[in-house]
Amino acid sequence: MTISITPSAQQRMRQFLAQAPSAAGVRFGVKRTGCSGFAYVVDLAEQLGEDDQTFQIEGVPVIVDAKSLPLVEGTEIDFQRQGLNASFVFRNPNATGECGCGESFTVG
């Protein structure tokens, strides 16, 4: 697994985990939605599913389900602030297109 997390994303994820000490880790994956097909999901994982895999990335437990794994392989997760807005940003080499709003992507 080659997901990477920038220092700013690591810091944000650690803040989330500190507020929820019972969480198993940060869930990263995709769901079918949006105008392009898939949307990223970043959330706290309260429990592990049967098909989940856990990766320690820079000390952050990242949980990815088996269906999402091939779609997020190689993705870099960043966290950026622009004015009053703050969000995770994804650089996914598997994405062959993105919608205009940047909320969803397609794969080849």
Domain at 10, CATH number: 2.60.300.12
Distances, alpha carbon 63 to alpha carbons 31, 34, 35, 99, in Å: 15, 23, 26, 26
pLDDT tens sequence across 35-79: 668 888 999 999 999 999 999 999 999 999 999 999 999 999 999
For the chain, how many structural domains are there in total?
Answer: 1
- Which of 76, 78, 80, 71 shows the shortest CA–CA distance to 105? 71
pTM summary value: 0.85
Q: Which residues contact 81 (CB under 8 A, 6 or more apart)?
A: none
pLDDT at 102: 54
- Domain extent, residue 27, equals 4-107
